[in-house]
Amino acid sequence: GQNIDQPTEMTATEGAIVQINCTYQTSGFNGLFWYQQHAGEAPTFLSYNVLDGLEEKGRFSSFLSRSKGYSYLLLKELQMKDSASYLCAVMDSNYQLIWGAGTKLIIKP
């Protein structure tokens, strides 16, 4: 079956760095997405990786290793507004998104 694993919850301090990991097992691979979702709101797109390596976009970076079925989202200089759920999703061979359960990130002052 298809499976996306990510931690349920993480806590970090304002101004610090946090890494959210995601491992996946899917039937085919057409890219991995990270989305941010605040409570009661729809997800917003953060990043897309289809090739191995690191993609940097401001305070957020995303890494992919296809051979290991592994990705991480790195958030730097954490701000209180970064408190949200972070969803990892993989596009499978049918171009369907397979979603992880999300990681709730709690930022403490």
Of 21, 23, 29, 31, the residue at the interface with another protein (CB under 8 A) is 31
Other C-beta atoms closer than 10 Å to the C-beta of 58 total: 7
Cβ 32 vs Cβ 5: under 8 Å: no
Residue 51 near another protein by CB under 8 A? no
Of 34, 86, 102, 105, the residue at the interface with another protein (CB under 8 A) is 102
Return the range that interacts with another protein (CB under 8 A); candidates 14-22, 57-65, 67-75, 94-102: 94-102
Q: What is the DSSP letter of 29?
A: -
Nearer to another protein, 16 or 50 (CB): 50
Beta partners for residue 10, in sequence order: 105
Phi, psi of 37 (to 5 degrees): -135, 115
**Residues near another protein (CB under 8 A), total:** 20
